[in-house]
Amino acid sequence: MSCDILRNAYLEPSFIVYYPDIVYTNPRIAEIDILLLLNGGYICIELKKDPQESPKDSLKFFSDGLGSQAVLYISSKPLGPEAISGVGILNPLIISRDNFPFEKLKKWREYLTKFFEERRKFFSIDNFLCTLILYGSPEICNLLLSEKGDSDSIVPFDRPRELNDLIRHRISLIKCVKGLAPSPENYINKIVENDKIESAKGGKLVVLIPIISPSLLNKVVESIKNLGKSAEIVLLCTDKSSDNCKMIECELMKKGLGKLKTDSVKIEEWSSRAVEEALGGGTILLAGEIPKNVLIELVNKIHEKEGGSIELASLLWRPVPKNKFGEELKEVIEGKKCDFGLREDVNLVSVRL
């Protein structure tokens, strides 16, 4: 591959797309170590420890619909003559480190922390826009991201100027890669660091416990534990979710959280009781699917108290870094053995509403 093509392309490290049904399950559908976007296409680049495994891994990308040229690999070793794909697709292409534009990746290290925080805040919509980059047809992207402002334009993408820089950046990339705009605009360097998404660090924590899937119970316990280190915790459940509540209480007590109170209330009293408990600077955390009438009552009651210094939060799936920011990127740039597989996980995190 010509080095010039790589130099003119847009590069982005650590790119993962999740299935949109991330509320309950979180299977990844594509993991790309480095994404390279060209005007009218994209290439996925994987870092390989052993290039002999490339044809097999390459097939995974091919069968996942990531393109006819399955994937490029950066490796210092040659592929070797015995490695053939044998499945009617092109052999993966190994590119030399010498021709790779590492200066673009070096630049990324400056933005990485801010970029990651912003991506966490807009995780669900950013994931959707990344899905469009990989799988969306130009016609669909044109329909969704049109700025024409007519009744067929999709809100809020019809007015990109009102959107956050990360979203504008993604839209710009989609338009470039689908051939709808000549080149992407760089909004990444404009991203400013905002508040972190976690809340409920202090004050009383009132947790509404609905029926929770058994596999999520431990994650919910872990999230509450992380939030409630110095706070008084009140677990409020209904008769339907009291078993879940007992289990959570038991696990929290095992973890040494002392100031713990549990109560089962009628569903029609759930919101009043939560507001009553949280008055004076507390946080109400929703740990799952709560009936919509309870949610509306909750917002109405908090609004009636004119803010009342009560905060609302919900447990949402968010990416959590496994390592120090940018550590893998540094290793890659320096040519050390490393992969991006250890970069992030997804976990239930409290998000202020």
Partner 1 sequence: MCLSGSDVQASLCLRMRGDFKPRGEGRIAGTLSDPWKIWTFLTTHGMWCQGIKSKKMDLSIDLLTGGTTLLISHEKDDYRLIKAIESVPLFHLAVDALVTTKEEGEYTSWGIHSKIKNGEIKAVNCRKILEVTPLTFHAATSGIHRVGLYYRIMAFQQSLSTRIAQALSLHGDIPPPYEVFSVEEGQEICGSLAALLSGIMKWGRVDVRVIREELTTSVIKSPNEEVLKGVKKLLRNLGEDILPDIIWDRGKGPLLSFNIFSNIKDIQLEKSLEYINEISLGRLACYDGLAEKFVKEEFDLAIDFSEQMGPCDVYLLLLILKERGILEKCRKMWLIGTPLTYPAAMYSLLYLKQIQKLPLSRLVLSSEDPAFSKIVAERISSEGEKIIYIAAGPVSHVLSFYKTLLEKKGKENVRAIPLSPHK
| Residues from 286 through 305 that contact partner 1 (CB under 8 A) | 286, 288-296, 298-300, 302-303
- Cβ distance 258 to 272 under 8 Å? no
Q: Is 210 in the site for partner 1 (CB under 8 A)?
A: yes
CB of 185 to partner 1, least distance (A): 19
Q: Is 179 in the site for partner 1 (CB under 8 A)?
A: no
Of 47, 143, 247, 265, the one binding partner 1 by CB under 8 A: 143
Phi, psi for residue 229 in degrees, rounded to 5: -55, -45
Beta bridge partners of 262: 235
CB of 146 to partner 1, least distance (A): 7
Please tell me what DSSP assigns to residue 257. -
Contact positions with partner 1 (CB under 8 A) in 227-286: 240, 267, 286
CB of 291 to partner 1, least distance (A): 4
Dist. CA 139–CA 141, nearest whole Å: 6
Q: Is 4 in the site for partner 1 (CB under 8 A)?
A: no
When the beta carbons of 121 and 246 are compared against partner 1, the nearer one is 121
Contact positions with partner 1 (CB under 8 A) in 75-114: none
Of 100, 123, 187, 340, the one binding partner 1 by CB under 8 A: 123
Q: Which helix (H) or strand (E) holds 223?
A: helix 214-227
Angle, vertex CA 307, rays to CA 257 and CA 202, nearest 5? 20
- Helices 123-135, 165-177: inter-axial angle, 10-degree rounding: 10
When the beta carbons of 155 and 192 are compared against partner 1, the nearer one is 155
CB of 75 to partner 1, least distance (A): 25
CB of 247 to partner 1, least distance (A): 16
The site that binds partner 1 (CB under 8 A) totals a number of residues, namely 72
Nearest Cα neighbor of 265 from 293, 246, 242, 288 is 242
Dist. CA 128–CA 20, nearest whole Å: 7
Of 52, 91, 146, 226, the one binding partner 1 by CB under 8 A: 146
Question: Which of 51-78 are b and which e, b meaning 16 or more Cβ less than 10 Å from the residue's Cβ?
Answer: beebbebbbebbeeebeebbbbbbbeee
Contact positions with partner 1 (CB under 8 A) in 30-69: 30, 63-65
Of 13, 51, 92, 136, the one binding partner 1 by CB under 8 A: 136
Q: Which helix (H) or strand (E) holds 246?
A: helix 242-254
Provide the CB-side half-sphere exposure for 109 (13 A, CA): 14
When the beta carbons of 71 and 286 are compared against partner 1, the nearer one is 286
Q: Is 216 in the site for partner 1 (CB under 8 A)?
A: yes
Nearest Cα neighbor of 274 from 245, 311, 226 is 311
When the beta carbons of 124 and 272 are compared against partner 1, the nearer one is 124
Q: Is 171 in the site for partner 1 (CB under 8 A)?
A: no
When the beta carbons of 50 and 195 are compared against partner 1, the nearer one is 195
When the beta carbons of 276 and 289 are compared against partner 1, the nearer one is 289
